[in-house]
Each structure stands twice: as C-alpha cells, then as structure tokens.
Chains A and B, each alone.
Chain A
Amino acid sequence: MTTSFVDVDVRSILRAGGEPFEVIMSAVNALAPGQGLRLFATFEPTPLFHVLGARGFSHVAKPIDGGDWEVLFQPSGAVRPDGAPARPASGDGAWPAPVRRLDLRDLDPPEPMVRILAALEAMAAGEVLAALLCREPVFLLPELAKRGHAWRGGFEPDGKTYALLVRVGDAREAAA
C-alpha cells in the first residue's frame, strides 16, 4: 500500500469533554487525493465510519494501549461498493470551512429546522453551514435534498450531539 496517512489525534479533545467532529472533518477536507487519515480516539468511533464511508473511505480500526483506538481511513475510490455515489456527499470531496455556525441543541423541534433553512436562504452557493443539534434531523434532510443542498452529518461519539454540515447547492431554486 502506498497510501500516505495524515495523523489526527483527538484524544485530548475527547478527554476534555470536547467535540472533535469538526476537527476531523476539516482534516478530511484538507486531504490530498489518495491520502488517508490516521485517527487516534479514546474509543471506537463507530458513527464516523458511516460518515466517512459515505465519502468513499474504508476503515481499519484496532485497539491500542490504554483502551484507545487507532483507525486508518483509506480512500477506496469516490463511490461505494455498489457503484452508487454516496448520497449525503453528493458533489465533490473537499468542502470549505463553515461560514456560519449554529448551536441549536436547546431549541424545541421543529425550530432547529426552521433556523437552518432560514440561514441557508441567506447564504451564497458553495458556502457551508455547521449546526449542532440534539437529535438526527430526520424531517430536515429530505427538505435539504429537495432544495439542492448537500449535507454531511452524524452523531458525535458521545451520542448526544448531532453535527450537521450543509453546503448550499448551486442548483437551488431561485430565491428572490
């Protein structure tokens, strides 16, 4: 294997009670074509397998000393094994850093959905919004797809916070 790996160690963030999702995703976004990611975490980051799997990364996880885990994410081509492009990552690989961040964890449903859709309307095509939610926004995701936005999301390893990234679509319906 000739894949080179970029090391990302989020163990100190996790031990401090922090949320490493954005750190990991920005590292992933910064990878050169063909490059992989070597992640060090305090537990097996199962939700991340799904998120990065949708972006065409295969993974090998192994426990290391002290109960920590080392995971190698390796680009396995831009498509899933079934040949279909991964839906949440429709578009391309690297996303720019978010221009807006919303912490919506204390709002009643469906207020987070309202805030996100309103914020997206005020953003330019290609810009990225980052939002923190307290549950998977199951009714929002089809609306994002319908409006031509791409999204990536998943639960933080603690299972309590859902981190969502939305990139405003080029093909969105013309808003006045």
Chain B
Amino acid sequence: MIGVTISRWTMSYFAAALASLVAALVLMASGYGFPSDPIRAPETLVVVHLVAIGWLSLLMCGALFQFVPVLVAYPIHSNALPLPALVCLAGGLAALILGFRQLAAPVGPEIPYLALAAVSLVAGFALVLWNLGRTLWAARPLPLPARFVVVGLAGIAATAGFGAIFALVLGGATANPHLVEAAAAGLPIHAVAGIGGWLTFTAMGVSYRLLAMFMLAPEHDRAGTGAVFYLGAASLAVVVLGGVAAICAGRTLTIVLSVAAVLGLAALGLYGRDMIHLYRVRRRRAIELNSRMAGVALANLAAAVALTLALLGAGAFDRHVGAVVFLAAFGWLSGLGLAKLYKIVAFLTWLESYGPVLGKAATPRVQDLVVERRAARWFLLYFVAVAGGTVALLADAPLAFRGLAGVMATATSGIVVELLRIRRLADVAVALRLPDGVHRPLLLVSRARQA
C-alpha cells in the first residue's frame, strides 16, 4: 500500500458534467423535451441523456477515479486512461444527441450518428470499467462500500449494452429480429439498470464511506448494511437477468419488475435506516454544508420512494412516472452530486495546492477555501425549485415547470461559480493564499505529483 495520489483528470470530468447539467436545465427551461414534448419524444431523450450521461455519469466516473482508490486503499490502475475515456464519452454523447435530433427531424447529412454514438459510448464506458475493474481486482478482498461499486459497474455495463442495442436499432444499423425485440421491450431494463444500478447503487456505496469520513461517524459495517447490499444486488440481478430471460421467452416484464421493486424498496428502506444511524452517531456535531445538503438529497430519495408507493397505490404510476424520475434524478442524485462536489473540489484543490508545503509554511484549512453562507443560498434555491418542479409535473403545469427549471439553472450556475472560486483559491485570505512553493491550480487538470 503506497497511498493514493490526486486523479489528474477528475476536474475535467467534473467540468464537463456541470456544463451538461446547466445545458440540460436551460433546455428544460426553454420548453425542450418533457413535459412540453411527450415522454418518449426524441427531444426528451436528448435532455434525459444529457443529464444521465453528460452530467451524472461523467460526475460519477470522475469521482470514482479519485475515490475507488480511497475506498480500497490501493492506487488506481491507470492515471492515463481517464482522458481517452472522457473523449469517447463526450464524443459519444454528442453523436447521441445529433442522432436523436435526426430522429426528430430527418434532415441534414446522412451520417449514422446513433451507430457512432453506440460505438463511442461503449468504448468510453469499457475504458472506465477496465480501469476501475483492474483497480478493484488488485485490491481484493473488497470492503463492503467497494462491492456496491462493483455492482454499480455491472449496472453501467448492462445499461450501455441495452443503450447500444437501442441506438443500432433506432438508427437503422441492424434489423436483427432479436435485437429489435430487445429494443421494443428493453426500455425499463435500460432505465432501471442505469438509474437504479449504476447511479443510485454506486452513490449509496460511496456515501457510506464519504459521509462517515466527513462527519466523523464510525465506519464499521452494520449487519443491516450487508442486507442493503444483497437485497439491492438481487434486485438489479432480477431486473437485468430476469428481464433478458423474459424478453427471450416473449413474456412481459411485469412480474420481473414487481419482484425487483419489492427487493429494491427493501434495500432502500434499510439504507435509509443506515443513513439515519450514521447522522445520529456522528461525533462531529456541527456538520458542514456538504453533509447538510447530502441529508436533503437523502430526504429527496425517501420522498421519491414515498411518491412511488403513493402513485402505485392510486394506480397513477404510469401517468406520473416522469415526476418520479425527475425527483430521483434532480432531488436525490443531482442534489447529492452537487453537495459532494462542493466538498470534493475544495478538498482536492486544497491537497493539490497546499499538500507539498504542509508543515513547512502557514497554510489555510480546507474550509478556508469555501464560503458556505453564500453557497447555502444557491443550494436552498436549487432544492426548493426541485420540489416545486416535481409538484408542477404532478399537477400537469408545464409552464410552471419551465419557470422552475429556469430557477434550477440559475441556482446551479451559482454553485458552479462557487466551485470556480474554490478552484482559483479566490476566497482564501491573500496572506495565506500562495505561500512559497504553492502554485495556483489549473482549472480543469490536476498536477498529479508522483512520490
């Protein structure tokens, strides 16, 4: 074990992710995609993938390149592979968006954008999987949070696999009857494996470790945490393996999805109990903004579960699935992502800038890089707008929803400005900002220092 160094390209991933989020919110505010367009319209697909791949997946990949080594106390397999992976993912996303626009209005040059997107995105995610997979493999036996990440990586493999089939079928690159069948019936598997498996399950695993670290809570695995892992992994296995079997057998996915939902909800219930326990037993009484906002994101996850149950009970789930996905994507995943970014960017920037001179010169603390009171207002505005947006979707009020998406775009831009100020050390007292031997960090790339 020789420790963990700063991941060189993580800041580039974060920048691309935030740009995608702001772009998606601006599109939503301008009435592009759901609810102004139908939920399966190409315009909606543009927004959904800008959020799912551009924002959430790039954010997750950037964070995992830095924090999988922390989870397993083992260096990353390659510090060079993240760059070609980012190029493939960003290029693939651009091709995907152009492909969806082609579907919406088949004009312009006949370039097979969707097929290009399938190839490029699969290549990008394969590079990510290879790099993280090699790191995890070398670090066996894995602690429990890292095993969540392994299941999450299986989730992105399934999601990208189905996505590639859809892209090839929709783009007309294949007419293979099995693939056409998979494309016709596989959407729920693609969505659940992506949102539930890749994004939510990975975030859950990482949250056990990061929240404990930032709140000084004991990290010892509780009996319930193992149950969260096995129930959640079983739920995802049922969706992906059972779903594929059902499609091959020509059955509907109803039974498979119902079984997976019961397992998944049980896992989320126990996870919620673990998180409440973590906040209660923390030794740090006054917690930082990132932990408070992560708490709000967790409350949004609970709200999304409650909304799902209420809609299922009322027989209105299919009609309002858009509101549930919106709340899960923006209240839970994006909320948690923005909250953790606020801490991670500050910590990595501090470590990169001041690590080499710690003990040799007076240096600021990590918290001297941030101004929480200013940022708290943007976070508050963001979460209020998400709650309002969910209500607007449930009430079928697309104009109100657009206004609230605009508020979310404004709040997110405010948070982005705070992150830029952190990266530029703009809020550090001048006397402490640049001691001898300290360079202002580059905005998008970290100078990885070798021991």
Contacts and interface: CB of A to CB of B under 8 A. Distances in A.
Contact of A145 (B3, B69, B219): B3
Contacts of A109: 213-214
Given A87-B2, A143-B355, A145-B2, A138 B70 contact: yes
Interface string B151-162: 000000000000
A110 B449 CA distance: 18
* Interface of A, helix, strand, loop or mixed by DSSP: loop
Contacts of A137: 3
Interface residues of A, number: 29
Contacts of A113: 358
B284 A175 contact: no
B81 to A, nearest CB: 20
A135 B451 contact: no
B360 A142 contact: no
Contacts, number: 69
A117 B355 CA distance: 9
How many chain B residues sit at the interface, stated as a range, is: 20 to 34
Interface in A41-59: none
Interface string A68-90: 00000000000000000001100
A137 B2 CA distance: 10
A30 B4 CA distance: 32
B216 interface: yes
A110 B347 contact: yes
B359 A138 contact: no
B359 A121 contact: yes
A121 B3 contact: no
Given A109-B213, A110-B366, A160-B220, A142 B4 contact: yes
A140 B3 contact: yes
B220 A159 contact: yes
Interface string B1-15: 111110000000000
B213 A141 contact: no
A88 B451 CA distance: 13
Contacts of B5: 142
A118 B355 CA distance: 11
A138 B284 contact: no
A146 B3 CA distance: 11
Nearest to B209: A135
Contact of B451 (A117, A118, A145): A145
Interface of B: 1-5, 69-70, 73, 213-214, 216, 218-220, 283-284, 347, 350-351, 355-356, 358-360, 363, 366, 449-451
Across chains A and B, which 8 residue pairs bring their CB atoms closest together, nearest first?
A141-B3, A117-B359, A118-B359, A145-B451, A142-B451, A121-B359, A138-B4, A117-B358
Interface of A: 87-88, 106, 108-110, 113-114, 117-121, 134-143, 145-146, 159-160, 175-176
24 contacts: A88-B1, A108-B216, A108-B284, A110-B347, A110-B351, A110-B366, A113-B358, A114-B358, A117-B359, A118-B359, A121-B359, A135-B213, A138-B3, A138-B73, A139-B351, A141-B2, A141-B3, A142-B449, A142-B451, A143-B3, A143-B358, A159-B220, A175-B360, A176-B360
